[in-house]
Amino acid sequence: MDALVVYESVYGNTRAVAEAVADGVGTFAVLPVHEAQGSQGTPDLLIVGGPTHVHGLATRRSRRVAAATAQQDGRTQLEAGATIDPGLRTWLHGLSPGAARHAAAFDTRLDRSPWLSGAAARGITRRLRHLGIDVIATESFLVEDTEGPLQAGELERARAWGAELARSIPAPHKQLVETQP
């Protein structure tokens, strides 16, 4: 199975989840969104993830505010490329219909009801389905505070989710070719 994991991350929590999901799926194709522009091929499974900002997908402004806050407090490590465009919203907008056969969406968010905290996976799912891509699963991975860290056990849960995704995708059908005598 050919899988691609694309993520957006500001503090590194979403990157860590993306890498764990890829480990579970068994793929090494993990790209930050700003490097995924123009990636080649049509994967069997496209897994897209991002942090939840202001109840949904991060915006250019919310990423920059988060980066500025991290720099001001000096305690939080900022993810390389956190403010580089395109962000996930823009990348999804530019994705072509049929960019993948199947997809899954995940987010990182606070451990609160999605009605209170929001969930970026919802926006990712909506955009992927709009492109005609079969979204087979969504998941949220929880952080302890706005800047992290991930709650205990979340990386193990991400690996297990990735393995479950890999099992749920049917193996590509090989075409039988008739030979004529």
- pLDDT per residue over 64-95, tens digit each? 998 888 878 776 788 888 889 999 999 999 99
On average, the pLDDT of the chain sits at 89
Query: 13 near 78, Cβ under 8 Å?
Result: no
pLDDT tens, residue by residue, 12-50: 999 999 999 999 999 889 999 999 987 767 899 999 999
Handedness of CA 54, 58, 62, 67 (dihedral sign): positive
109-134 mean pLDDT: 93
> pTM value?
0.90
Peptide bond into 172 cis (omega under 30): no
* CATH number belonging to domain 3-168: 3.40.50.360
Q: What is the DSSP letter of 118?
A: B
Return the sign of the alpha-carbon dihedral for residues 51, 106, 20, 134: negative
What residues does each domain of the chain span?
3-168
